[in-house]
Amino acid sequence: METKRGHVVVVGYGDVGKSIVTELLNAGVEFIVVDKNEDALVGRGFDYVAGDGSNEEVLMRAGVAYASTVIIALNTDTDTIFATLVARTLAPDAIILARANAPVCGKIYKAGADYVASLSIVVGQMIAKLAISEQKEDVVMLYEGIAIEKYHVKKGSPFAEKTLEELDLRSKVGCTVIAIEKDGKTIIDLHGNTVIGADSILAIVGSREQIRKFEEYEHRRPESPERIMIEKIGELFR
């Protein structure tokens, strides 16, 4: 199996892992699955590594060191903590999303996860979000204190035709762009020189406050030269 780069590694192929894989397949995202039960993986039409998802050698075979994102969907929180520790050691710059079953989110964060999904909290937040959202199609998922949402970059948007480095959203509003969808294709291997085209969709992640700042920033429009000139002329008569 060739070494993948910029891919997603899904650790765990239980009910949650299967749902994640279905979404990745539908989105056309390159990924590899890690699970102990090889019988459940054979003939599924995707790459996999059979083995313990908390084992360093197994995760190395899955190319975690070169992954853009690691999703840990194991059934026990103890395994999740160990898998997170190993994944973070192998991939210091990857985004690590982890599933939690019990209220141990803090321990998983300390192990190195960027975002932890407590299933009971996620369900409650998603239902509430769907109930109050005016644009339900923009909701992707809510983590504990963390939102993952998508935004349509329309023509004329201050984001259109800008690179991620030029926008520098992380330092300005705290959000991170984790994927860009354009013409039916999803790009997750993002770099500073990645251009955000008009009519594309951004998947961003951040806290509720960061999402709010992002929305305010996104709705800002650059002032026209005519507007600037009028204001300057007005200042001369003050």
Q: Which residue has the tokens 């369900």?
A: 123
pTM over 0.75? The answer is: no
Domain 8-121 has CATH 3.40.50.720: yes
| pLDDT (0 to 100) of residue 3 | 64
- Please give the Cα distance from 6 to 178 (Å, whole number): 12
| pLDDT (0 to 100) of residue 121 | 57
Residue pLDDT tens, the chain, 238 long: 556 788 999 999 988 888 888 888 887 889 999 999 999 999 998 999 999 999 999 999 999 999 999 999 998 889 999 999 999 999 998 999 998 876 677 889 899 998 887 755 555 554 454 454 444 444 444 444 566 777 888 888 888 898 988 888 878 888 888 778 888 777 777 788 889 988 888 888 777 788 888 888 876 544 444 333 334 434 433 3
What is the DSSP code string of 43-91?
TSSSEEEES-TT-HHHHHHTTGGG-SEEEE--SSHHHHHHHHHHHHHH-
| pLDDT (0 to 100) of residue 120 | 56
In the chain, domain spans: 8-121, 145-218
According to DSSP, the β-strands at 47-50 and 115-118 are: unpaired
Write the class of the CATH domain 145-218.
alpha beta
CA neighbours closer than 13 Å in the CB half-sphere of residue 21? 22
